[in-house]
Amino acid sequence: MGVTVKVPATSANMGSGYDSIGIALDLYNVITMEESDHIDISDVRDDNIPKDENNLIYQCAKKVYDICGKPLTGLKIVEDCAIPQTRGLGSSSACTVAGILGANALLGDPLSQENIIDLAASIEGHPDNSTPAILGGFCVALLEYGKVWSVRVPMNGTVDFITFIPDFELSTEKARAALPQKVAHHDAVFNLARAALLAGSLTTGKLENVGVAVGDCLHQPYRFDLIPGGRDVVHAAKCMGALGAFISGAGPSIIAVVDSADKTYLSRAQMYCEQNFPHWTPIRLTCDEVGATVTRF
């Protein structure tokens, strides 16, 4: 028996919700996995991925086998990863979740969804990515002593997430190292008010609040210096009519939240980038409401 696991991209933080808010997006890593007597990893896209025991999907699968006390001789893994790596769109979370869910399915589902959510966040370190990758939708999530406390908040009103992806990478490690050890009390208050406003506004459909609600002074001001053109792209995204715009996750991608009724936003953004920001490519994504899925074959 084998399994196919499909895991969505995620955008963490959404501006104000640093390390706590994330949303699943309709761009996917699709992984097939079968037990084998050796490690056999391939990639349909010919991406440069580790093909040995250093492969993240394999490592996460092995962790599940270890937790369950089951020996693992090897796995045949075929990756079809559409989520670009190191762009702030949750590619490593998606691989972590795929490894855990795939192994769990191969073992006959010994882990509960709660176990899986906790394990994914503990391995990955970012519950704001791993939780929406599993549950889909818009989530608030935090990790405390190995347990994730989360809620999937229903969204009211339709928005597109126009995602400006640059042709350069930024590692999460580097983007986190740029942050200060301490922040001012008024900066903390600035963000917590906006993060709460963001969750409430998306739930109730009060989309006119989004521009203010994604405001942030905990991480973006420090990260923009690592993202050439990032500030300008956010500014342009808003000038073109977005409700709000922010760095996706740790960056470098930028996301503009756009009313779905604005049917020409993407083409305007494409034209603008071609002329002014040739290193950036905007694509239209929407919220994935399903989360990770597992199919047996």
User: Cβ-count burial of 102 within 10 angstroms (0-12 exposed, 13-18 middle, 19+ buried)?
Assistant: buried
* Residue burial 77-100, b: 16+ Cβ < 10 Å; e: rest: bbbbbebbebbbbbbbbbbbbbbb
In whole angstroms, the minimum distance from the beta carbon of 244 to ligand HSE comes to 17
Work out how close the CB of 176 gets to ligand HSE at its nearest, in angstroms, rounded to a whole number: 5
Check the annotation: does 213 bind a ligand. Answer: no
Residues contacting 219, CB < 8 A, separation 6+: 13, 18, 179, 247, 250
Alpha helical stretches, state H, 25-181:
56-67, 91-106, 113-124, 127-135, 172-177
| Residue of 84, 132, 137, 249 that binds ligand HSE (CB under 6 A) | 249
Residues numbered 129-168 forming contacts with ligand HSE, rule: CB under 6 A: 129
How long a stretch of residues is the chain?
297
Residues 177-236 that bind ligand HSE (CB under 6 A): 219
Tell me if 90 is assigned to a ligand binding site. Answer: yes
Interface segment toward ligand HSE; rule CB under 6 A; list 24-32, 172-180, 235-243, 264-272: 172-180
Q: Which part of the chain contacts ligand HSE (CB under 6 A), choosing from 11-19, 39-47, 130-138, 187-195?
A: 11-19
Q: Which residue, 142 or 153, is less far from ligand HSE as judged by CB?
A: 142
Please report how close the Cβ of residue 266 comes to ligand HSE at its closest, in angstroms.
24
Cβ proximity to ligand HSE: between 105 and 252 the closer is 252
Which residues lie below 8 Å from residue 180, measured CB to CB, with a gap of 6+? Answer: 222
Q: Is 11 known to sit in a ligand binding site?
A: no
In contact, 160 and 258? CB cutoff 8 Å = yes
Query: Which residues form the interface with ligand HSE (CB under 6 A)?
Result: 12-13, 18-19, 126, 128-129, 172, 175-176, 219, 249-250
Point out the annotated binding site for ATP: 84-94
